[in-house]
């Protein structure tokens, strides 16, 4: 078997029907571009986890990691990212049904018309594909330009980019702004983000359907909102990080929060928070406290004061990440 060019990682959390459709459709992909299928489960039902074990036993998936509980989307995706040393990483949500065995070949044929140091992600509307200047019309379709962030639903990241910016940011909660955060760092590094038109490559099984998460007490909308407008007030964590990245206060290449201690024969993972992350958490909390106080007293413009920025940089330099 050829060494994989692409590590396709699927984070899973419940939704067994969508999950199985996603995996089975993916396995029809042509091997013209060598790939591996890595699945990381975030604490789903025993029935779904057993089904995933069977998929692994049958060779339908190549790598399987079963987390003890929901560790968050970034943690799960990063464990999958680490599992295979491949030139390209593709995050595929467990409600995405790819179209045709040549979908991956077609994506790479389209992407080759752009700059190699870039990322590629889906756009769901023709209008969005043409919204920003700089798009490229190619014999393989249109490459749109994204100025904000790509959706992580079916997104490609080359190793040449992750060597610069790292992996998904694990600062956030269970369901957060990992793709938005990556977009902020891409923009800081002045690297292009390209759109492809999703309808040509996959069907979104989760579009306009009930998520099923309500049954287990997870409010994804509230989780997401908290990152921008927390109930306790002040700046949300996403906005704090955006400021820190844009002002070059903290490094764009983010540290990992969690580390894998063991994976047993049943693919069950033992994971813990890395002690080296503690200074990062403290620096984030201190930065938010100072930014909230500064904004309350001087307004948003006050946060750009040179002496204040230098003070924040010292906090991050002291913890080894700025």
Predicted local confidence at residue 17, as pLDDT: 96
Quickly list H helices, the chain: 16-26, 46-57, 73-83, 103-111, 126-129, 159-165, 178-188, 220-226, 237-246, 278-298, 306-318
Contact at 8 Å (CB) between 165 and 81?
Answer: no
CA 5 to chain centre: 19
Of the candidates 78, 7, 90, 76, which has an alpha carbon nearest to the alpha carbon of residue 44? 76
Please report which confidence band the pLDDT of residue 206 belongs to, taking 50, 70 and 90 as the band edges. Answer: confident
Question: Mean pLDDT over residues 66-93, rounded?
Answer: 97
pLDDT mean over 41-57: 98
Residue 207: band (very low, low, confident or very high) from pLDDT cuts 50, 70, 90: low
Task: Say how many residues make up the chain.
Answer: 322
- Mean pLDDT over 131-157 rounds to 97
Q: Determine the pLDDT at residue 266.
A: 98
Under the phi-then-psi rule, with left for phi > 0, alpha for psi from -120 to 50, and beta for the rest, what region is 190? left
**In the prediction, which pLDDT does 211 show?**
55
211-240 pLDDT, tens digit per residue, is 556 556 667 777 778 888 898 999 999 999
Distance of CA 304 to the CA centre of its chain: 29
pLDDT tens digits for 113-123? 999 999 999 99
- The pLDDT assigned to 11 comes to 97
What average pLDDT does range 206-210 have in this prediction?
A: 59
Please tell me the pTM assigned to this model. Answer: 0.95
Residue 208 has pLDDT above 80, yes or no: no
Nearest-angstrom CA–CA distance, 239 and 249: 14
In the chain, the percentage of residues whose pLDDT exceeds 70 is: 95
Look at residue 142 and tell me whether its pLDDT is greater than 70: yes
Q: What is the pLDDT of residue 252?
A: 98
Q: pLDDT (tens digit, 9 = 90+) per residue, 275-304?
A: 999 999 999 999 999 999 999 999 999 999
For 197, the 3-state DSSP assignment is strand
Q: What share of the chain is helix, strand, coil (3-state, %, to 5)?
A: 40, 20, 40
pLDDT of 108 above 80: yes
Read out DSSP for 234-284? S--HHHHHHHHHHTT-S-SSPPPSEEEEEE-TT-BEEEEE-GGGHHHHHHH
Average pLDDT over residues 30-37: 98
Given this model, what pLDDT does residue 224 score? 78
pLDDT on residue 217: 65
């Amino acid at each position: 078997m050829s060494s994989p060019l692409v590590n396709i990682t699927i984070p899973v959390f419940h939704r067994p029907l969508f999950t199985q459709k996603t995996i089975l459709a993916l396995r029809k992909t042509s091997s013209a571009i060598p790939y591996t299928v890595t699945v990381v489960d975030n604490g789903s039902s025993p029935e779904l986890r057993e089904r995933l074990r069977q998929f692994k036993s049958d060779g339908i998936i190549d790598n399987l990691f079963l987390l003890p509980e929901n560790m968050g989307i970034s943690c799960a995706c990063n464990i999958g990212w680490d599992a295979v040393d491949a030139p390209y990483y593709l995050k595929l949500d467990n409600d995405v049904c790819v179209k045709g065995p040549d979908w991956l070949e077609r994506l790479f044929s389209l992407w080759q018309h752009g700059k190699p140091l870039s990322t590629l992600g889906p756009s769901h509307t023709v209008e969005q594909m043409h919204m920003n200047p700089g798009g490229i019309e190619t014999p393989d379709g249109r490459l749109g330009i994204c100025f904000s962030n790509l959706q992580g639903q079916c997104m490609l990241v080359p190793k040449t980019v992750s060597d610069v910016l790292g992996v998904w940011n694990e600062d956030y909660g269970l369901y957060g702004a990992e793709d938005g955060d990556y977009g902020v760092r891409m923009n800081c590094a002045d690297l292009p983000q390209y759109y492809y038109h999703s309808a040509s490559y996959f069907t979104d099984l989760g579009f306009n359907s009930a998520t099923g998460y309500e049954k287990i007490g997870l409010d994804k909308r509230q989780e997401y909102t908290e990152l921008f407008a927390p109930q306790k007030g002040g700046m949300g964590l996403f906005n704090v990080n955006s400021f820190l990245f844009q002002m070059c206060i903290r490094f764009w290449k983010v540290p990992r929060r969690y580390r894998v201690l063991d994976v047993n024969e049943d693919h069950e993972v033992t994971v813990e928070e890395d002690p080296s992350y503690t200074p990062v958490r403290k620096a984030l909390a201190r930065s938010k406290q100072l930014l909230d106080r500064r904004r309350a007293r001087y307004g948003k413009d006050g946060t750009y004061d040179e002496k204040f920025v230098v003070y924040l940089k010292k906090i991050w330099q002291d913890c080894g990440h700025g």
